[in-house]
Chains A and B, each alone.
Chain A
Amino acid sequence: MGRRYLSLLVTALVTAVIAFMAHTAGAQSDNDPETDDSQTDIASDARMSPADRLLRTREFLVERAQTRPRLQPPPIGRPPLRNDRAMVDWDDVSATMAETRRRDAAGANAASAASVPRLEGLRALAPTQLQRVRPSEVDAVQMPVLVPGSDEILASVQVFGQADAYSAIADAGNNLAFRISGARKRLVLEDPPAPRVAMERMRSARPPLPGLGARYVITRSDSSTDLSFSRFGCGYVLSLMCDDPDGDARCAEDDFIVSLASSMVLLNENAGSGQ
């Protein structure tokens, strides 16, 4: 009988120890930041009292907070290696426009309705042909000033030019604000952070823009849907601002912004002639 009690006691203790270890391991995995944002955590959090949640948040803030010393402060973060001014490949600009002209001509000569000229590509347009564009704004820019060739955008577009950068804003249709920006200078990052490297991979994985041949990425946030691409040595970003970014297909899906980026007009065709 005594031996039996002893074995029972040992079994009970071993069970309790195993249960405790399992519980502790579970608590540790709850604290793992990798799993912080999972739906599972939200579900398990539903059982926590508001006071416990607040306590968890407070502890998180206290544990992670850091301060800056008043004397001899260490550097903050990492600056870029340098800021380069790119060489603009104006020959490529000319070649791309020539290719679009060739395709337009082929389309115009085709008898079949199925072969109407494609809209994709790059065509020149003088700023004087645009009602709200001041030619001096375009003349100031020493990089290709690209604007989507959509009729709605061209009807309302305004350009703000600087030597190595420009932006253009317009209405792109019903309840839709549009902006395109370009930059000739680029920051060279030292060991770019992993998400930036991942973006580079995303860009490589997509097929190029029809007509322009540029690889691109699309990102979406509260404030805009953005399409970023580079061409002729410069960086460009198109932004669409919808009232309902999740419900309006022009912002929520890729097709519309890709179609805008695939059909561009060049407002400063002669900017490269002196360079």
Chain B
Amino acid sequence: MRAGSETQKGNTTVNLLIGLAIVSLCFLAVWWYEKQAVESVPPQFADELEDEGSAIEEPDAPSGAIPEDPPDTLPGDEDEDIPPTDTPLTDAQGDVFAYLPVGDLLPLSGPGFVDDTVYRPDIVFPTEDRVFLNSQVYRYGGYQGSLNGMEGGQCEIANYDYPWQDTFCEKRSRNQDLCPGGGHEGLDIRPASCTKNVHWAVAVEDARVIDVRRHWVTLQTADGTIYNYLHLNMGALEVALGDDVAQGQRIGVISNDFYNSDGSSVATTIHLHFEMYENYVASDGADPLFTKVNPYMTLVSAYDAKLRE
């Protein structure tokens, strides 16, 4: 009985070992399958991954990674029954303008605020040159850039590229009603290059200059809409408090000015922080609410119009 029991125990051990080996093989297969999937890097990013982390101080013209390749139109390919294939809209440098939907913030960067309202369909875009709307905090040069594997300086060439991303209700330390877990009620606009004091911000509408202090210039239109321009070069503004400005008129150059009330500086990246307040009613008969709104789709619309000029 004892000898038989030991034999049985030996058999059980062997069986268990074989079973474990099979399970391990299955897990190995699963692991190998997933590894293969992860390593299939989209070709347009292969280059960027190689020099990941390198900060380029003064980039040349950004390369313009194109999320959707323009369709090939080889001579002789056209079929008379099929209308000519359209191509995506490009900017002045020939780079395809691409943008993420409103509310699609970078991973781990906050709740966002999905609002597809184009509050002011007739504004002009607030800058003269092309720009890149993206995060100043959760990308290269931002203190949370590592969350997205974007470790490096603000001048990293990938910061100066499409697609645009919404940054309204991007996560900050505070919690508040409008953006639970958010706290950034504006859009961050990176100028065409990582050089301050050369790219102009312009008035989006005819308006009055109603505030010029510390690091902001504020406009109000005859309809009441308020536009806030932050981080311009405050020492070289083209407007003064109380001025009437015309749509498209230069206000100042995009910089990284950021001041406390005693005049001491706070560090920030070179960008225009753009805000918009609207007085609106959510339904007929309701009381109006005059608050910051997400200007993302208004700016997408204005940029689209600008690129078609």
The reply to whether A188 and B290 form a contact with Cβ atoms under 8 Å apart is no
Q: Which residues of chain B from 230 to 267 have any CB-CB distance to chain A below 8 Å in the complex?
A: 230, 241-242, 260-262
Residues of A within 8 A of B96 (CB): 67
A202 beta carbon closer than 8 Å to chain B: yes
B76 beta carbon closer than 8 Å to chain A: no
The reply to whether A181 and B26 form a contact with Cβ atoms under 8 Å apart is no
The reply to whether B113 and A195 form a contact with Cβ atoms under 8 Å apart is yes
Q: Which residues of chain B from 129 to 156 have any CB-CB distance to chain A below 8 Å in the complex?
A: 146-151
Residues of A within 8 A of B86 (CB): 69-72
The reply to whether B118 and A223 form a contact with Cβ atoms under 8 Å apart is no
Known: A54-B149, A67-B88, A76-B301. A5 touches B18 (CB 8 A): yes
Residues of B within 8 A of A184 (CB): 224
A13 to B118, CA, bound (A): 55
**Chain B 183-213 against A: per-residue CB contact (8 Å), 1 yes, 0 no?**
1111000000000000000000000111101
Residues of B within 8 A of A186 (CB): 279-281, 288
Q: How far is the CB of B171 from chain A (nearest CB, A)?
A: 6
Partner of B149 from the list A56, A78, A189, A222 (CB cut-off 8 Å) is A56
**Chain A 73-111 against B: per-residue CB contact (8 Å), 1 yes, 0 no?**
100111110011010000000000000000000000000
**Chain A 157-195 against B: per-residue CB contact (8 Å), 1 yes, 0 no?**
010101111110100000111010111111111001111
Stretch at the interface among A144-152, A212-220, A262-270: A212-220
Residues of A within 8 A of B104 (CB): 33, 64
The reply to whether B224 and A183 form a contact with Cβ atoms under 8 Å apart is yes
Partner of A177 from the list B41, B163, B213 (CB cut-off 8 Å) is B213
Known: A220-B176, A246-B174. A193 touches B115 (CB 8 A): yes
Stretch at the interface among A15-23, A113-121, A123-131: A15-23
Q: Please report the total number of A residues contacting B with Cβ < 8 Å.
A: 106
A177 to B88, CA, bound (A): 45
Residues of A within 8 A of B115 (CB): 193, 195-196
Residues of B within 8 A of A249 (CB): none
Q: How far is the CB of B118 from chain A (nearest CB, A)?
A: 4
The reply to whether A181 and B290 form a contact with Cβ atoms under 8 Å apart is yes
A176 to B261, CA, bound (A): 7
Partner of A58 from the list B19, B42, B90, B291 (CB cut-off 8 Å) is B42
Known: A62-B42, A169-B213. A78 touches B26 (CB 8 A): no
Residues of A within 8 A of B119 (CB): 80, 187
**Chain A 40-83 against B: per-residue CB contact (8 Å), 1 yes, 0 no?**
01100100111111111111111011111111110011111001
The reply to whether B221 and A187 form a contact with Cβ atoms under 8 Å apart is no
Partner of A69 from the list B23, B49, B88, B278 (CB cut-off 8 Å) is B88
Residues of B within 8 A of A245 (CB): 174
**Chain B 4-41 against A: per-residue CB contact (8 Å), 1 yes, 0 no?**
00000001000100111011001100100000001001
Q: Residues of B at under 8 Å CB distance from A?
A: 11, 15, 18-20, 22-23, 26-27, 30, 38, 41-42, 44-45, 48-49, 52-53, 67-68, 86-90, 96-102, 104, 106-111, 113-119, 121, 146-151, 162-163, 165, 171-174, 176-179, 181, 183-186, 208-211, 213-214, 216, 218, 220-226, 228, 230, 241-242, 260-262, 273, 275, 277-284, 286-292, 297-298, 300-301, 304, 307
Q: Residues of A at under 8 Å CB distance from B?
A: 1, 4-5, 8-9, 11-13, 15-17, 19-20, 23, 33, 36-37, 41-42, 45, 48-62, 64-73, 76-80, 83-84, 86, 158, 160, 162-167, 169, 175-177, 179, 181-189, 192-197, 199-200, 202-203, 215, 217-223, 226, 228, 230, 233-237, 241, 243, 245-246, 252
Contacts A/B (CB < 8 Å), 5 sampled = A16-B30, A37-B181, A65-B68, A70-B90, A185-B223
